[in-house]
Amino acid sequence: MPEFRLPVPIGRKRTLVLAAPLVLATIVVVGCRSKPKGQVPTQPSRTATSRATGPAKLVLDRGFVDMGPMATGSEGDVSVSVRNGGGERLIIRKVETGCNCVMAAVEPEGIEPGGSAALNLKVRTLKHRGLYRAEIAIASNDPGGVRRLTLCFDVPDALAPEPGQLCFGVVRPGQHLRRTLKVVANRNVTSKVLYAIADNGSLVGRVIQPEVGPGKAAELEVAMTAPARPGTYRYALNVNTASQDVPAVRVPVVVSVSNAATVEPEVVDFGRMARGSQPTRELRVTVQPGTRLESVSARPAVLDVDTPSGPLDGGGSIVLKPNGGIPFGPVRGELALKLAGDETSVLTIPFRAYVTEGADPGPPVAARP
């Protein structure tokens, strides 16, 4: 018997086919919304940036500015970012520099939470000579108190010695010594070194290369015979030039004489270092029997000196590291080593460093003549 089937209208079949995805989607959505018993609901992610709360907070993007070498009577400009890291409006009340050679102002004086302003600094070298440090103090409604920034600039002579101090280290009595000295041009000056005269007959300077100017340094050989008695001796070598602006360049000379001690190195160099860090250097001292190293001290007192307990008999290694009092910028000083016993004397070793905030500050700010 033939099978009998009822005809299905074409329109109804299409309706069933199109509706099937809708039913499935509804099931999936309902299934996603349902959760097993005891399951902790997932917290929605926070997409909004959290805003600082609390009182106003003054934040400087840096605490040290090096203007570099500048000429006498020149000017330089630099800006430092001042940010409000608090939740209330920051109001700048006063900016002090302590010197009329530095002018400072914050613009604008009112900073909204999360906003920033510019601390604009203008430096005029006036008649300053040598290295100068200025401290800028910013008073505001920040309950944390006054914020400070250090600015330094150097006004070297048009012609200057390199190194700035000639050090022979710790040597034996009567020892013959030789060092090389240069005279460099810090500005657009062209001249000649004529001769050198010392304030002591045992110190002699001989001109090897006299021409000095941009990209060219004069060169001298400095020789001396060490004194016969132990101790530290200081001299001066006057290098005479053909320049009318700088007719003579004065070079300090230091030498320490000892029969009983040797000290290495001749100069303690910390190089570039971040303020707050404590890189260490070793001073190696050897002392003969009958003499002892009583103490080692730094002048200025910006280094901590770690020695074995009690006087050093026979010598040893002395560990040196900068302390919290070391300033920003170039630092120069001396270590005084006191000997007692068969030989009683004070020996001198120079030290140097350049202190930054951690990141290299980059090239100095360009100055205007």
Work out the pLDDT band at 297, boundaries 50, 70, 90: very high
252 & 295 share domain? no
User: What is the SS3 assignment for 62?
Assistant: coil
β-partners of residue 39 are none
How many Cβ atoms sit within 10 Å of the Cβ of residue 367?
Answer: 18
3-state helix, strand, coil in the chain (%, to 5): 5, 55, 40
Please indicate, yes or no, if residue 75 is contained in any of the structural domains.
yes
| pLDDT for 267 beyond 60 | yes
How many H helices and E strands in the chain? 1, 28
How many Cβ atoms sit within 10 Å of the Cβ of residue 228?
Answer: 9
114 & 183 share domain? no
Asked if residues 142 and 57 have their Cβ atoms less than 8 Å apart, the reply is: yes
What's the number of domains the chain is made of? 3
Work out the pLDDT band at 351, boundaries 50, 70, 90: very high
Please say which residue of 137, 155, 173 terminates a domain: 155
266 & 222 share domain? no
293 & 317 share domain? yes
β-partners of residue 141 are none
Question: What pLDDT sits at residue 230?
Answer: 96
User: What is the SS3 assignment for 122?
Assistant: strand
Please say which residue of 235, 257, 279 terminates a domain: 257
150 & 166 share domain? no
Model confidence, pTM = 0.77
- Whichever domain contains 165, its CATH number is 2.60.40.10
129 & 174 share domain? no
216 & 275 share domain? no
232 & 194 share domain? yes
Higher-pLDDT residue of 215, 24: 215
Q: Which domain holds residue 177?
A: 157-257
Please indicate, yes or no, if residue 223 is contained in any of the structural domains.
yes
pLDDT digits (tens, 9 = 90+) for 94-122: 999 988 899 999 999 999 999 999 999 99
Q: Which two structure tokens, joined as six digits, stand for 64?
A: 């040290």
| pLDDT for 361 beyond 60 | no
Asked if residues 321 and 303 have their Cβ atoms less than 8 Å apart, the reply is: yes
Please indicate, yes or no, if residue 7 is contained in any of the structural domains.
no
251 & 269 share domain? no
Please say which residue of 257, 284, 318 terminates a domain: 257
187 & 233 share domain? yes
Please indicate, yes or no, if residue 28 is contained in any of the structural domains.
no
230 & 316 share domain? no
236 & 264 share domain? no
Please indicate, yes or no, if residue 39 is contained in any of the structural domains.
no
